[in-house]
Amino acid sequence: MTPVPTTVIRHHKERIAKCSLRFLHERPEMTFLRERPGFTFDATGFLLLAVDAPPLSPADAGRPLLLLDSTWRWLPRLRACVTGAPIPRSIPAGIATAYPRASKVSDDPAGGLASIEALFLARAMLGDRDLLLLAGYHWRDDFLARCAAAGW
Mean pLDDT to the nearest integer, 112-130: 92
- Say whether pLDDT at 96 is over 90: no
Output the CA–CA distances (angstroms, integers) from residue 139 to 44, 90, 128, in the order listed: 33, 21, 20
- Average per-residue pLDDT for the chain: 88
Dist. CA 2–CA 13, nearest whole Å: 32
Question: What would the pLDDT profile of 16-73 be if each residue is shown by its tens digit?
Answer: 766 778 889 899 999 999 999 899 999 999 999 998 899 999 899 999 999 998 887 8
Q: Are 11 and 74 in contact, with CB atoms under 8 Å apart?
A: yes
Q: pLDDT value at position 101?
A: 59
Output the CA–CA distances (angstroms, integers) from residue 41 to 85, 115, 137, in the order listed: 11, 19, 27
Whole-model pTM: value is 0.88
Q: What percent of the chain has pLDDT over 90?
A: 62
Can you say whether the dihedral through the CA atoms of 123, 55, 87, 36 is positive or negative? negative
Confidence band, pLDDT 50/70/90 cuts, at residue 4: very high
Q: What percent of the chain has pLDDT over 70?
A: 91
Which of the pair, 46 or 103, is modelled with greater confidence? 46
Q: pLDDT value at position 3?
A: 93
Neighbouring CB atoms inside 10 A of 131's CB total 10
